[in-house]
Amino acid sequence: MKPATSWGRLSADPHHVVGLNDPSRVKTLVCHGPQPGVAHGMGRSYGDISLNPEGTLWVTTGLDHFIAFDNSTGRLVCEAGVLLRDIQRLVIPRGWILPVTPGTQLVTVGGAIANDVHGKNHHVLGSFGDHVQNLTLIRTDGEVIQCGPHERADWFAATVGGSGLTGVITQAEIQLRRVAGPWLDTETVPYANLDEFFRLADDSEADWEHTVSWIDCITGGGGRGLFMRGNPTNAEDRSAPEGRKLTMPIVPPVSLVNRLSLRPFNMAYYHIKKWEAGRAITHYEPFFYPLDNLLEWNRMYGPKGFFQYQSVVPREVGQDAVQAMLKEIARSGDGSFLAVLKTFGNRQPVGMLSFPQPGVTLALDFPNHGERTHKLFERLDAIVREAKGRIYLAKDARMPRELFEAGYPRLAEFMKYRDRGISSGLSRRLMGS
Amino acid sequence: MNNKNRIVIIGATSAIAEHCARLWLQKQSIDLTLVGRDAQRIERVATDLKVRSPESEIRIVRTGFLDPEAINATVENIVQSGDVDVVLIAHGSLPEQADCQDDLKACREALDVNGVSPVLYAEAFAKQMAKTNHGTIALIGSVAGDRGRKSNYVYGAAKGLVTRYAQGLQHRFAGTEVKVVLIKPGPTDTPMTAHFKGKGAKLASVESVAKQIVDGIEAGKPVIYAPGKWWLIMMIIRHLPATIFNKINI
């Protein structure tokens, strides 16, 4: 048994860790085990979706082999433990790119599918699952299921965003997208309040592929921020950024993100970035993955770890709901530094339990202060519930079961596809097994 | 014949060797020969490398590791299709020490596959490289070969054999264009599972060890400890007097 943690570092419970390093042995290893297990990739989800305290973790990072890549069609086939980083580095020099990528490239393909991750271009290209053509699922009863949007589509819809609960994803085929090179034409626009944010978001959707914003949820009750947008561009003969890696070397005894530090952090960040605002040519790595060069940044929240609270609420009530959440946060005195506000496009997701839905999503991080933090979450939950929104499973470590059930109306349909030999902390907490 | 760098890996399904191959291909297209026992596993490695570098020539040779005649034939066959620039001899298996103590057959196997076999491969390549006065023979030893310890001395003895052998080979080829590199990895982690280690020192990742090996071979270093700190650790361990050493539980 080894202690395993996820990105939020909220727990380090013992797990029976089994490496699935050889695809030909996966079936033997996951079938009819003594206790339920769950697949675990890079451990970049924040809560308990990839954990299974006292149970088995099937670690997929050894399934890191490419299987085929057709340069003329952009079809890539690879094992599920391949990192998005390795795909980007392989295909971008050949004129292709992952159509959808989340805010870190240090995740596995299997994890990207099981969480149906989204990126800054949701309004144009949807989520990760929209680009998966086929996947291989190994069930713990030994059945091997090939599925995709046109083949056993029900299994595909259950597995994309299915939190790893329908079987172990071992292989996937992804349709990549043409790209001129690694550069983006980007613009940073400061905004003073939510009105301005929504106007910027609406104005940008037609002409910009990528949109996202950092929001200062402390200063003046929250609401100002920096809107970032970008389009792939053909900029030649530039040298790529050095990509110097820094590591957070220790876990500080208390969170470095706290009531004292947040106000100056936010103020400094806003003003420095405001000063730098405007157009630029930016390399894809700092644009898509701003934190990937700061290794183990999650340690800065101290030994008790931190929570992410990411919700999406429908557009009609979006502005009021976001305003109300910012108000609650301001009232609590705790705040979030890595606060991200983004609109989703008007499209239905592939997966039964996929997170994205038309509306606006707010992601917030909070150091774990126990009861005090949970009290704040209850107030935020009330706003999300009222707005008929939902919370992102990949980030969640604590939402109440009724909020999950209300937010994910296709849950009953999904349950038919669950694998009885698979269980996670999250599935026991929210689905009862 | 082509002018690509020609690299041969014996035991290409070992994690360290595979990551070395990825790094070599990433730098430039090469002519790579993968030698291994298990056809399916070696095919998986070759397919992956081919996707990573379509311009590279990748060949597979399936053979056993213990029969001297088969080794000789394999190496002659490889050399026939062109001079070898680098051979990385990486195969081996990590046996349970207890099994080796209980069962002489297991003990013999561990000695053969980790000690005798790498030496036979190296010797076969040495014969060819001596003729052309060109090439690098890189052998993967282990820090375990630096001093026998109760927890793994059979494996350690086999790796110690490789160490002594590499020294002799370096002596033999001193002043020639044939280089001999001995690599001594410390304990390495499976790919990127660092977050499972609760307390205590982190193990080095396979990626970082592979990087040090590839860089060290390019620089022609005679001995590479990977990570480098193991040079210091093993120097201390080698020099501990037996009265102290025998009291430590390692």
The pLDDT tens digits of the residues spanning A153-183 come to 999 999 999 999 999 999 999 999 999 999 9
Q: Looking at the structure, do residues A274 and A384 belong to the same domain, yes or no?
A: yes
What is the C-alpha separation between A364 and A354, in angstroms, rounded? 19
Average pLDDT, chain A: 94
Q: Looking at the structure, do residues A211 and A358 belong to the same domain, yes or no?
A: yes
Asked if the structure places residue B102 within a domain, the reply is yes
Asked if the structure places residue A415 within a domain, the reply is no
- CATH no. for residue A390? 3.30.70.2520
Query: Over the stretch B154-165, which tens digit does the pLDDT of each residue have?
Result: 999 999 999 999
Asked if the structure places residue A407 within a domain, the reply is no
Whether residue B2 is predicted with pLDDT greater than 70 in this model: the reply is no
**Which CA distances in Å does A333 have to A61, A91, A224, A301, B50?**
40, 45, 17, 17, 55
Whether residue A285 is predicted with pLDDT greater than 80 in this model: the reply is yes
**In this complex, which of A2, A65, A69 lies closest to B196 when CB atoms are compared?**
A2
Asked if the structure places residue B236 within a domain, the reply is yes
Q: Looking at the structure, do residues A43 and A72 belong to the same domain, yes or no?
A: no
Query: Over the stretch B205-219, which tens digit does the pLDDT of each residue have?
Result: 888 999 999 999 999
Binning pLDDT at 50, 70 and 90, where does residue A51 land?
very high
Asked if residues A176 and A66 have their Cβ atoms less than 8 Å apart, the reply is: no
The stretch B231-244 carries a mean pLDDT of 90
Is the sign of the CA dihedral A77, A82, A86, A87 positive or negative? positive
SS3 string, A391-417, reads ECCCCCCCCCHHHHHHHCCCHHHHHCC
Average pLDDT, chain B: 91
Q: Residue B201 has what pLDDT?
A: 54
Query: Over the stretch A124-142, which tens digit does the pLDDT of each residue have?
Result: 999 999 999 999 999 999 9
Interchain contact, B47 vs A66, CB within 8 Å: yes
Q: Looking at the structure, do residues A175 and A189 belong to the same domain, yes or no?
A: no
Asked if the structure places residue A75 within a domain, the reply is yes
Q: Looking at the structure, do residues A296 and A387 belong to the same domain, yes or no?
A: yes
Q: Looking at the structure, do residues A289 and A302 belong to the same domain, yes or no?
A: yes
Return the bridge partners of B180, or none: B137
Residues 6+ apart with CB under 8 A from B46: B12, B34, B58, B60
Higher per-residue pLDDT: B7 or B237: B7
The stretch A242-257 carries a mean pLDDT of 83
Please count the structural domains in chain B: 1
Whether residue B197 is predicted with pLDDT greater than 60 in this model: the reply is no
Whether residue B192 is predicted with pLDDT greater than 70 in this model: the reply is no
**In this complex, which of A59, A67, A90 lies closest to B47 when CB atoms are compared?**
A67
Which of A15-24, A249-258, A405-414, A420-429 is least confident?
A249-258
Best interface-test mutation with B: which of A65, A104, A296 has the largest number of B CBs within 10 A?
A: A65
Interchain contact, A65 vs B191, CB within 8 Å: no
What is the C-alpha separation between A353 and A157, in angstroms, rounded? 8
Say what percent of chain A tops pLDDT 90.
81
Asked if the structure places residue A130 within a domain, the reply is yes
Whether residue A296 is predicted with pLDDT greater than 90 in this model: the reply is no
Asked if the structure places residue B250 within a domain, the reply is no
Searching chain A, which residue's CA lies closest to the CA of residue B189?
A: A62
Asked if the structure places residue A205 within a domain, the reply is yes
The range of the structural domain enclosing residue A194 comes to: 183-234+244-401
A156 Cα to chain B: minimum distance (Å): 26
Please count the structural domains in chain A: 3
Interchain contact, B198 vs A61, CB within 8 Å: no
Give this complex's ipTM.
0.90
Name the interface residues of B facing A (CB cutoff 8 Å): 40-41, 44-45, 47-48, 51-52, 54, 190-193, 195-198
Asked if the structure places residue A229 within a domain, the reply is yes
Q: Residue B191 has what pLDDT?
A: 47
Q: Residue B202 has what pLDDT?
A: 65
Binning pLDDT at 50, 70 and 90, where does residue A32 land?
confident
Say what percent of chain B tops pLDDT 70.
94
Whether residue A284 is predicted with pLDDT greater than 80 in this model: the reply is yes
The range of the structural domain enclosing residue B195 comes to: 6-245
- CATH no. for residue B190? 3.40.50.720
Asked if the structure places residue A410 within a domain, the reply is no
Asked if the structure places residue B205 within a domain, the reply is yes
Asked if the structure places residue B1 within a domain, the reply is no
Nearest to A177 by CA among A282, A81, A284: A284
- CATH no. for residue A155? 3.30.465.10
Whether residue A207 is predicted with pLDDT greater than 80 in this model: the reply is yes
Which of A259-273, A312-326, B14-28 is least confident?
A259-273
Q: How many CB pairs under 8 A join A and B?
A: 47
Asked if the structure places residue A210 within a domain, the reply is yes
**Which CA distances in Å does A382 have to A32, A306, A330, A427, A429?**
41, 21, 16, 22, 19
Q: Looking at the structure, do residues A34 and A88 belong to the same domain, yes or no?
A: no
Whether residue A396 is predicted with pLDDT greater than 80 in this model: the reply is yes
Ranges of H-type helices in B53-93: 68-80
